[in-house]
A and B are shown apart, each in its own frame.
Chain A
Amino acid sequence: MVQVNAPMVGKVLSVEVKVGDQVKKNDVVVTLEAMKMQIKVYAPSDGEVAEVNVSAGDVVNTETVLVALK
């Protein structure tokens, strides 16, 4: 299982994947907003989305696991 943490404190703008989706390395999984900037969070490896723990509007920090891949 690969956990994808938020790289910084921010607000979730949108979640681009759902459980069961196949993703490739560097596909966008979540878009965050921090410092008035959109930050795209990319999948660190290929895999299937096993968990999605956040939704648009959530405030996240570096300890938040956004999604998990298997």
Chain B
Amino acid sequence: MNQLIEIFSGVGITQLTAGNIAMWLIAFVLFYLAIKKGVEPLLLVPIGFGIFAANFPLTGLLEEGGLFYIFYHYGIENELIPPLIFLGLGAMTDFGPVIANPKTLLLGAAAQLGVYVAFFGALLMGFTISEAACIGIIGGADGPTSIFLSANLAPHMMGSVAVAAYSYMALVPIIIPPIAKLLTTKQERAMVMTQMRMVSKTEKIVFPLLTSIVIMLLVPKSAPLIAMFMLGNLFMESGVVERLTNVSRDALMNIVTILLGVGVGSTMTAETFLTWKTIGVFIMGVVAFAFATAGGVLIAKLMNLFTKNKVNPLIGAAGVSAVPMAARVVHNLGAEANPQNYLLMHAMGPNVAGVIGTAVAAGAFISAIL
């Protein structure tokens, strides 16, 4: 009889909890969004499956030495994968629009307002300072940076922060337009910007080096992300290491995306995810996004009071990163107000500057908190 009980207790189904099944349902929602609705499928499919598989009892996947433990411990906790993703992003980012119009760097920085508003909001809601920083960074709309910061400050919240960040990024076309419209007049949105100047190859090669020097001296803790971002960019702009450029943005990026997705998903077990804190993360996440959009637009308007070469304030909204979707949304808003308005490349300036801004904000949080 004892033997029979022993055999049955080793069968997963006898240990399955309601929490496990609730997490499966969450995984199925992510699959539905990714497969049926096309929401960030490259991330939500692996994250969803990570959640699904992590919520089976007795698999040992999450125990020390287990497969998902290895993905998480060596890939994410050791901060290896987010910087590798940044390498790939660097190898596909054209900093031309920033170099042609360096003012846009300020707009990328302004959009980090959302990060700080959500940070203080989360503190008021009772989150710890480390947790609040991870929630705030959602407003930067940058998945790898959010994961990097959670790995440093609040690993228990990584799953909810990552899913909130990726979900809201997918919702950029819904979140940005009402806020950007509320803060601008039709006349402002219709404003055509002067054609950008051509940027030379030398400038494009110097940019990643100069940016590395400035940022890594000022915010040393952002170095893992910034160094890899700029290395990837130097690969691409140098034009002499096409093989490295291609492998960084294609094969390597795809491989680490699988490990990142499954690793992050596997942190979302019923015990860590099904808490009131997760709800708080999602509420403050959308607050962060809204204030990031508003920050970019308002600073653009402020800048216009003092400068001769005015910018269309809409491009400030692209400072929330979410490259290049935010820039596309901004372009459409501009074209809606005036068909002759082509804002796409102008919006790419704050857009890529926003990525740098978020990495810097993450580095600043780590220096201040750890």
| A-B contacts at CB below 8 angstroms, number | 33
A22 within 8 A of B: no
| Interchain CB contact under 8 A, B345 and A8 | yes
**A residues near B, CB below 8 A?**
7-9, 26, 34-37, 39-42, 44, 62
For the complex, give the distance between the alpha carbons of A37 and B195 in Å. 19
| CB-contact partner of B328 in A26, A35, A62, under 8 A | A35
- Interface size for B (C-beta < 8 A) is 14
| Interchain CB contact under 8 A, B344 and A8 | yes
A35 neighbours in B (Cβ, 8 Å): 324, 327-328, 344, 348
B327 neighbours in A (Cβ, 8 Å): 35
For the complex, give the distance between the alpha carbons of A6 and B196 in Å. 12
| Interchain CB contact under 8 A, A26 and B340 | yes
| Interchain CB contact under 8 A, A26 and B342 | no
| Interchain CB contact under 8 A, B344 and A39 | yes
A62 neighbours in B (Cβ, 8 Å): 195-196, 198
Taking the closest CB of chain B, its distance from the CB of A64, in whole angstroms, is: 13
For the complex, give the distance between the alpha carbons of A40 and B186 in Å. 20
| CB-contact partner of A37 in B196, B331, B339, B340, under 8 A | B331
B198 neighbours in A (Cβ, 8 Å): 62
For the complex, give the distance between the alpha carbons of A9 and B196 in Å. 11
Taking the closest CB of chain B, its distance from the CB of A1, in whole angstroms, is: 18
New contact pairs (10) apart from A26-B339, A37-B331, CB-CB < 8 Å? A8-B342, A9-B345, A26-B340, A35-B328, A39-B331, A39-B344, A40-B335, A41-B342, A42-B339, A44-B340
Taking the closest CB of chain B, its distance from the CB of A2, in whole angstroms, is: 12
A42 neighbours in B (Cβ, 8 Å): 339-340
